[in-house]
Each structure stands twice: as structure tokens, then as C-alpha cells.
Chain A
Amino acid sequence: MSQLSFDLVIVGVGGQGTLLASKIIGKLALSAGLGVKVSEVHGMSQRGGSVITHVRVGDAVHAPLVSLGAADYLISFEALEAARAAAYLKEGGIAIVNTQRILPMPVITGAAAYPADPLTGPPLSDHVVEAVDALTLAVEAGSQKAVNLVLLGRLSRHLAFEEEAWKHAIASSVPRATFATNSKAFEAGRVQA
């Protein structure tokens, strides 16, 4: 189950803190002596639009973007966004999804409908989906902003990095005052069944 060469796509809604998650994984890969590229979205879509971050880890990483159908893992901060990004997953790829729903404006205005069950229906139905109530776990850990750490905790179960290495990467990426909360959120995701 564990591997140190992988393509990962992180998606969510602008403003949810997806950039911190990719920053932590990047530092982790770097400290393990692996090649890594992380491609982020800044600017307009950070204002509540669909956002996507590409993370590629391995020996010879060239393109900064993950190809469609090539991702080993998909982390989604929101249910609908997981379905939207399903095409990035390769066969047998795993989607780790926060079950939180944030309604997009076309749904709020009634111009479109939110899918009844984005995690079990198509297009995600062909893939392994690990649903996590990361918002609740983050609030329990001390802050709803720690959703990203819960999801990383869950991802950590699939990757062969030591828990200590994760902690170092987290410590060097978050403000000192929030380390305890973030660390707790990470553990909550890591142990959650």
C-alpha cells in the first residue's frame, strides 16, 4: 500500500486552505530526498471557485501538472469537487473526500442541482472513495480551519513516510500558535477508521 512515487491532485473550494496541504506534502517529499513539483492556483478562483493543486513526487518529475487518468490519490475538501476531479484518478486510484458540502452559486440560485450523492454515484463510482467528515474532526481538534490536516492524516495511511517526518513538515508549514491544533487534527485523520 505504501509508495514514495505518486501523483496527487488536491481539489476544493477557493479559500479552504488547499495550498497549505500541498505545501506540507512538498516539504515532506523534499526532506525524504525525493523529486517533487507542486502546481498551485492563485488569483481569481481562490475567491470561492473550484481550485486544484497538482502534486507530483518521484525520481524524475518533469511536468508540473498531473495528467488526466494518472493520479494515484485525489484529496477533495468538498464532495462535489471530488466528483468533478474524478477524471484525474487512474484505475485503482483512491479518493479521500471531506463529506462537507458547499453549494456553488448556480445551485444557490436554483439554476442547477447539487448531485444527490456525489461520492457513490458516477463518476466516482468506479473508484475507491474514503469519505471523511473532516470538518467535524477538525472542529473537535480545535479549529474548522484544520480540515486540511485531517485529510492529510488520512492520506498518510497510504504513504510510507514516518509519522515524525509528517510532524516536521507540518511544524515548518504552520504558524507556531496553531501547531498543536493542526497536529491533533492530523492524528484524528490518521487514526480515523
Chain B
Amino acid sequence: MDENKLISAEQFGMPLREPQLMLGNEAVARGAWEAGVHVVSSYPGTPSTEITEAAAKYEEVDVQWAPNEKVAAEVAFGAAMAGARAMTCMKHVGVNVAADPIFTAAYTGVNGGLVICCADDPAMHSSQNEQDSRYYARAAHIPMLEPADSQECLDYTKLAFELSEELDTPVFLRLTTRISHARSIVKQGKRENIPVKTYRKDMMKYVMMPAMARKRHVHVEKRESFLSEAANQMPINEITMRDQEIGVITSGACYQYVRDALPNASTLKLGMVYPMPMKLIKQFAGQVKRLIVIEELEGLLEKDIRAAGIACEGKNLTGLQGELSVESIKHALLGTPMPVASGVDLPARPPVLCPGCPHRGVFYAVSKLGLRVMGDIGCYTLAALPPLSAMDACLCMGASIGMASGAERAQGKAFSKGTIAVLGDSTFLHSGIAPLIDAVYNRQSITVLILDNRITGMTGHQQNPASGLDIRNQPAPAVDIQKLCESCGVTRVSIVDPFDLKAVEKVLKEETERDEVSVIIARRACALLERSTTPPYVIDGCRNCGMCLKLACPAIERREKQVVINAALCIGCGMCAQVCPFKAIKEGVRAV
């Protein structure tokens, strides 16, 4: 929403009070702005997306969407090397993509401060795995801060920039869904005026050839032992003594759960989860009878604490999967029974493709033709669910094309005549180009279907290099996906309108038959972006054959002996009218 279009509270005689209620992600952006950040480069990914969106609202900051997290991290690194304060934000799996530059940036260090925000998704609300980014901090020898509410998101982001410049290292800011997507009260400050530092050529620091990198590695280890010692004095690692029976070491969202579940327990709250303040932990351990580590995902803190010879409990009580909660912590530590749901069996409500989604027509045709689908990451992954059930595999961003090539190598070329790789425009630009080149180069015969809806949909409509718009909705050069595929060596690239079901079916049949790599671009804007002006469709003379139900449209419902269209949901795409064998579905009349 455009904030400028809001009615300000002042107009109602009520001044906009400080403090404000902010999402953790918005507070990170605010903290970066207050720290004088100059450049933010990111790729969207739930739950990290709103950091960069919020940063784009500060006009002093140069903010951009990059095609993927690796590019984003490299742009941010380049900016920091050239003297700016820079930040890059991504979800946990995005760190996998960006890991290459990040690991070596730990060696080079920085000039201006460099902060890498990574948002983990315990319980996988919107992710394909539950990996714990804290391992990256250890593996790359990069310090990692973890805030526990929105105020800390702001404060720790500022601190992260200071640490980065003081210690000459990138700094991780680790978030989780319940911090990123929780709103809490934040006191805001002013923007610090940080000038961009002078750029100096420094081969020994920035050219990571073996001879130089060996010297830098020494610096990395020195920095880490210095910080491990300094961590014991950092105020963000804080002991609060209450009852001495139980002492809990925790961080982030878990700290909040612990405070509600065990209000009397003493706590050591870690604001920096790597490196750990081992002396402080020893001191705390000596003051409590029972030491418990409460952490989501891996038992990482617990293992290190044990390795330091300190007895503690942790994962034996809380487990390795999903999110923790006030209830689960009470259950684990106090034996309080877990509240149970009613036991009444209610139908599930999985997410679905929206009414009028252009992906629907494509997957309807794919499902009808019985094609195998090597899938990818985006809204269209939802086509895996019944009744479309049109997906065989989904691994990570851009994997569809490589998987199709690999499957062909295993099963032979005939296999590819019944298989397609499907991915969206943003996912293709993120990491689909190299596997497409691979397929052409290695003489595959796969068919690639690019669902081009002009936007990055699942994460909430972020512009991408093919959108023709930048993050601030200003006109930007648009990548021509057709020409791009052609220049990769694909000899036939077809364009089809996904609303035209017959055309989609025809092109799928033709292209899968071919003995070389072909690309089909199904092009139509996301239904949530370009609102249809067509009135809702109506059914008159339904014979209850159920053909339209195969579209899996949430607006089409079976009621007793006939099917009806829910006018509150239908946006008038008309795909159902195309599949009705009795021509009983027609455009309705616009309500006055």
C-alpha cells in the first residue's frame, strides 16, 4: 500500500505518536536506515521479503531487487568494498545460493559495513526445508546476532553495522518467521549521516588468490578469538537472575516463549549466537541448579556448551523439528499437558491457485495430457495438490530444468516426450538460465515451460528483471525471456496465452514431441495484479458432469446436484466456460 495515500492521523488532530508498531522486518529496515545504510540488494523470500520492501520506502537508500541471492550478496559486498554501508536480505535457503560470495567475504572483510540478514522458517510455513542458518555463521566464521522482538531488530541492525566496520567482517543478522512477521513496539531514532568511505585498491585484502587468502585466513581466526572473548562483555548477552532452580540459555523468539512459560526462571539471553560467550555461560551455569538450552531447530548452542564441559539439557526435552511455543516449553519442562484440539474432524484448507490464476489453465492441460512435471518454487508448486496433481518433483529454485535433463539421462529420450520442466519467470531468471544452457549444450530434448506472469508472485508481488519495473515501480529495462532463451541456443520458443486452453494443449503436444530442447512461454499477468473487469460467470443448465471441477478453481462449488459459481470469488477468467462440454457456463451480468 502506498503510505502517501493514507490519511495521516494528524488530520484527525492526533499526532503520530512515537513509538510505532512495526514488523520485525520493517524494524530491520528502519535500523539499517538509522545506521546510514547506502545500498540494499536482495532477492525476495518468505519470511525476509518485507525488509527490502520497507527499505525501499526510505528515499536516501539505493534499494534493488537482484535476480538471485548470490547476485544480491555480491552487489552488497561490492558496495561495502567500495566504502558504502550495505545490506543484503534473504530467506534461509537463499543463503545456500549466496554462500559462495559470503564465505570468501569473511576472508576479505569490508570497507563500509556489510550486514547479511537471513530469515529462517522453523515449521516451514512457506519453505521447502527447515535448515538452521546458525550453522552458516560457524562454517563461514561470521558473527551472528539474533534479535528477539522488533525493537531489537532495529537496535541489532545498527549494532551489526558497527561490528562489521570495527571488526572488518560481514555480520549476519538472523531472524525467524515469528520475529520477521511479528509486530511489536519500536522507538525510532534519526538517521546517522555516514559518508561513503574512500575506495582504495588493496590487492592483499580483496584479491583472494591462494597467497593472499592464506594471510586473510589468519586474520579471520584472530578476529574470531577476539570476538569470542569480547562476547562475554557484550550487553546483548544478558544474564537475568530470578529463581535459581532453572536457568535457561536461549535467544530470539524462544526467549519470549521462555519468559511466558517460565516467568521465574533465570535466563541468559544471547543476542549474539555466534561466537558464543563461553565464560559468561560458565558463570551462569554455576549460579543455577538445572541448566537448560531452549533453541529451535538444531541443538547447536547445546552441543557447543557441552563441548566446553558444561552439563546442560536441551534437545532431549524440546526436539529437533518445528517451532517451539509457550505450551510446548511448559510441557517439556513442567510436565503441563499439551492443550489438544477438539478431535472433531474438519476438512483441511490447503492453499490453492487463486481464482483467475493464469497457471491454472496450463496445469489443467498438463494434467489432461498426463505429463510428468519437474516442478519448481513459486505459486505454481500448488498445482502438485489434488485435483490438478500435476507435479512429480520440486527441490529448490531453478531445479526443474536440471531435473528434467537428469531424468532424460536416466530414462532415455522417449521419457522427455512425456515430461516437462515448469518454472516461473522470476525463478527462471533466478537460476534457470544455466541449466537451460546445460540442456542445449548436452543435447537434451526436454521441454521447458516458463510461466511468465510478469512478477514474483508467491512472496507477494516483487518486481523482477522481466517486469519492466524496479522495486520502486519505476520503469526499468525488461529482460526479453524469449530472446534470452534463443540466445542460449534454444531453436524453438513458443508463446501462448494460458487462458486459451486449446492452444496450451496443442503447443504442449507439439513441443514435447520434438527431439531437441524447446521452450514454451505461457504469458499472462498474475490475477492479483491485473484485476479482471469481466463480471463473474454463471452456470445455467448444469448437468453436473464435473468437468469444470477439474480446474480446481476455488470459485466453483458443487452444491447437491449441480455446480455453482461463487460470485464473491469469481473474477471472470472464463476458463470454466471453455471446459464445459454443454456450454452451460456463461459470462454473467455485472451487478449495479
A complexed with B: yes
Given contacts A44-B46, A47-B352, A80-B349, contact A108 B557 (CB under 8 A): yes
Whether A47 and B182, one on each chain, are in contact in the complex, defined by CB atoms closer than 8 angstroms, is no
Which residue of chain B has the shortest Cβ distance to A61 in the bound complex? B184
**Neighbouring A residues of B382 by C-beta, 8 Å:** 44, 47
CB distance from B553 to the nearest CB of A (A): 8
Bitwise interface map of B from 6 to 17 toward A, beta carbon under 8 Å scored 1, else 0 = 111101101011
Q: Is the CB of B342 within 8 A of A86?
A: yes
Binary interface encoding of chain B residues 21-58 relative to chain A, with 1 for a CB under 8 A from any of its CBs, else 0: 10100000000000000000000001101100000000
Partner of B351, one of A45, A102, A172: A45
A41 at the interface (CB under 8 A from B): yes
Q: Could you say which residues of chain B place their CB within 8 Å of the CB of A121?
A: 344
CB neighbours of A135 from chain B (8 A): 568
Question: Of all chain A residues, which has the CB nearest B351?
Answer: A49
Contacting pair B181 A42 (CB below 8 A): yes
Within 8 A of A (CB), among B111-128: 125-126
A42:B126 contact, CB within 8 angstroms: yes
Q: Which residue of B lies closest to A13 (CB)?
A: B349
In the complex, B569 has a CB within 8 A of chain A: yes
Q: Does A69 contact B (CB under 8 A)?
A: yes
Measured in the bound complex, the distance between the Cα atoms of B184 and A174 in whole Å is: 20
B341 touches A45 (CB 8 A): no
Collect the chain A residues with CB atoms within 8 Å of residue B188's CB. Answer: none
CB-CB < 8 A to A171: which residues of B? 6-7, 9, 11-12
A50 CA to B346 CA in the complex, in Å?
Answer: 12
In the complex with contacts A43-B126, A48-B354, A86-B342, A38-B554 CB distance below 8 A: no
Contact A69 B339 (CB under 8 A): yes
**Per-position 1/0 for B353-372, Cβ under 8 A of A:** 11000000000000000000
Query: Chain B contacts of A111 at CB under 8 A?
Result: 347, 386
**Distance, CA A46 to CA B354, complexed state (A):** 10
Partner of B339, one of A45, A62, A67, A100: A67
Would you call B552 an interface residue if the criterion is a C-beta within 8 Å of the partner chain's C-beta atoms?
yes
Q: Is the interface of B mostly helix, strand, loop or mixed?
A: loop
- Does B578 have its Cβ within 8 Å of any Cβ on chain A? no
Q: By the criterion CB–CB under 8 Å, are A87 and B9 in contact?
A: no
**Is B557 a contact of A43 with CB atoms below 8 Å?**
no
Pair A109/B552 contact, Cβ less than 8 Å = yes
Task: Give the one of B149, B346, B387, B557 with max A CB within 10 A.
Answer: B346
B460 within 8 A of A: yes
In contact, A45 and B327 (Cβ under 8 angstroms) = no
Which of chain B's residues has its CB closest to A107's CB? B347
Give chain B nearest CB distance to A1 CB in angstroms.
25
A38-B21, A39-B181, A105-B385 given; A122·B342 CB < 8 A: yes
Which residues of B, 154-182, contact A by the 8 Å Cβ criterion? 178-179, 181-182
B558 at the interface (CB under 8 A from A): yes
* CB neighbours of A112 from chain B (8 A): 347-348
Across the interface, A30 reaches (CB within 8 A) one of B6, B17, B46, namely B17
Flag A61-75 by CB within 8 Å of B: 1 or 0 each: 111110111000000
Chain B residues, CB < 8 A from A45: 125-126, 351
Interface residues in B32-86 by Cβ distance below 8 A to A read 46-47, 49-50
**Interface digits, A172-189 against B, CB 8 Å rule (1 contact, 0 not)?**
111111010000000000
Q: Which A residues are CB-close (under 8 A) to B182?
A: 37-40, 64
B185 within 8 A of A: yes
Q: Which B residues are closer than 8 A to A by beta carbons?
A: 1-2, 5-9, 11-12, 14, 16-17, 19-21, 23, 46-47, 49-50, 125-126, 149, 178-179, 181-185, 253, 256-257, 259-260, 325-327, 339-344, 346-354, 379, 382, 385-387, 458-460, 549, 552, 554, 556-558, 566, 568-569
Question: Could you jot down 7 A-B contacts, CB within 8 Å?
Answer: A30-B17, A36-B184, A37-B184, A105-B350, A118-B346, A123-B343, A177-B5
